[in-house]
Amino acid sequence: MRHKWIEHIVQAWDAFMEEMFSFVPEESKKHIKNARKEILLALKSVIEKRIEELEKGKKEIKKVKVEKS
């Protein structure tokens, strides 16, 4: 269950963004939307690459026998 204060913050943010973009031309809104999508896709690829590196690291772990002196 979401907390009521989170819902209020989301509503306030939505109202703020609506007000801010009320003066922006439609063509500009399309570019902004596409730019936001590209940023999210870039972040997604960074996260996916990092996950690959973490999984690759797990495969390369080798046990090493240590001799006691």
Radius of gyration of the chain (CA): 23
Interatomic CA distance for residues 31 and 41, integer angstroms: 15
The better pLDDT of the pair 52, 57 is held by 52
Q: Tell me what the mean pLDDT of segment 30-49 comes to.
A: 93
For residue range 20-36, what is the model confidence (pLDDT) as tens digits? 888 889 999 899 889 99
Q: Is the pLDDT of residue 38 over 90?
A: yes
The model's pTM: 0.51
Interatomic CA distance for residues 55 and 49, integer angstroms: 10
Two structure tokens written together for 62: 């080798």
The better pLDDT of the pair 46, 69 is held by 46
Q: What residue ranges do the domains of the chain occupy?
A: 24-60
Residue 25 CA, chain-centre distance (Å), reads 27
The better pLDDT of the pair 66, 47 is held by 47
